[in-house]
Amino acid sequence: MDRPRALPRPLALPDFPWDALAPYRARAAEHPGGVVDLAVGTPVDDTPTIVREALAAAANAPGYPAAVGTPALRGAIIDWAARRRGVTGLTDAHVIPTIGSKESVALLPLHLGAGPGDLVLHPRAAYPTYDVGARIAGATPIPVDTDADPATWDLPDGAGTPDRPIAMIWLNSPGNPDGHVLGVDQLARIVTWARERGAVVASDECYAELGWEAPWDSEAIPSLLDPRATGGDMSGLLALYSLSKQSNLAGYRAALLAGDPVLVGAVTEIRKHTGMLPPAPVQAAMATALADDAHVAAQREAYRARREALVEATAVAGLVGDPASVAGLYLWLGLPEGAAARGSYELVGAFAELGIVVAPGDFYGEAGAGRVRMSLTGTDERVAAACERLRSPHAAALFRP
């Protein structure tokens, strides 16, 4: 008898959440006005012309690209970080391009050497890949309230001891799904707490250009690498950023990693060995996108208009947003206080009756119970259609039983 194969060994991963939406998408598609899919935050607007032109101009690329990025791209990242994120003092050793930011979220714990016994903390309402990335490395994901003083975080027994080290802390500001923003004081508090425990802090900041309410409608959302948060010392700190949202480059897989040169260097070595090389034409397109603020401002205003319309229409339907949801690409919606409790999937089903697809809050952890996430990434026409349906008597009957 043949010996059973050793591989593949299943990883302890959750089911892919989006598969659970299939019946709701099918129900929404039956609407006579067509489906309005606001579940996934995938950009729908055109990639800027100047970026497409830069990509085409660099299309003759017969050689292998550099894992560390071209000098032009690294210079563009450094200039952009100072101009848009208030992060100064970066050099080539502080930055690298990545193939989108999701691969960094999923693989950073593994690339940094996290493994069994290590704890990886992440926001309690969080993009599922923080949890998945810890599991891929064999570490243990732990949700915590990153809005709160870390001294109050609910951690398992033995957390922070040599047997159960806190290896890494993920931050996400503005948050997906909740749109919460971490101010400089909170970032500094977490940095101090992490350094006392030898933990790396990694901040996913891909929605940083999308601030909607005071003070973030007029003031830059702070980066983890902001000198006011770091005290002038980037050791143990990494920030991720993606051009998918600000520049409609999701299809290009264009992102970056910046921070502590020791950590950046460790990640770079893995990327060199594994051939994780951002394509040369994409690197050229990234450099152009990072140098141009005009298209970013235009895209932000398009999302602002869609957000304002959806906030008004969902309120008419009887839904309420999280009051701390002041930035980002989503509405984080539930029923008003005092209403009969309804599960996230029940709310998703009510939206599907209107031909609208949204994501259940349960996708984002226990903190999402009873909520749904609605993306701003619909065309103007589809957002207008959603708003019309949400203002209808049918919507009122669904959400105000």
Query: pLDDT digits over 96-142, tens only?
Result: 999 999 999 999 999 999 999 999 999 999 999 999 999 999 999 99
- Position 130: which residue type? Y
> Do 38 and 21 form a contact (C-beta atoms < 8 A)?
no
> Do 364 and 390 form a contact (C-beta atoms < 8 A)?
no
Position 1 confidence tier, pLDDT thresholds 50, 70, 90: low
pLDDT at residue 4 tops 90? no
- Total residue length of the chain: 401
Position 256 confidence tier, pLDDT thresholds 50, 70, 90: very high
The overall average pLDDT reported for the chain is 95
> Do 73 and 252 form a contact (C-beta atoms < 8 A)?
no
Averaged pLDDT for residues 153-177: 95
Query: What local confidence, expressed as pLDDT, does residue 319 receive?
Result: 97
Q: Quick one: which H or E segment has residue 370?
A: none
Query: What local confidence, expressed as pLDDT, does residue 159 receive?
Result: 92
- Cα–Cα distance for residue pair 307/398, rounded to 1 Å: 22
Supply the pTM of this predicted model.
0.95
pLDDT at residue 397 tops 90? yes
Is domain 17-46+295-399 given the CATH code 3.90.1150.10 in the classification? yes
Nearest in space to 361 (alpha carbons), one of 377, 375, 376, 344: 344
Q: Which residue has the tokens 């607007």?
A: 45
The CATH 3.90.1150.10 domain(s) of the chain lie at 17-46+295-399
Position 193 confidence tier, pLDDT thresholds 50, 70, 90: very high
Query: Domain 60-291 has what CATH class?
Result: alpha beta
Inter-CA distances, 66 with 57, 70, 72, 93, 249, Å? 18, 6, 12, 14, 20
pLDDT at residue 11 tops 90? no
Averaged pLDDT for residues 343-372: 96
Averaged pLDDT for residues 383-388: 98
pLDDT at residue 198 tops 70? yes
Strand bridging mode 330-334 / 372-375: antiparallel
Averaged pLDDT for residues 228-239: 97
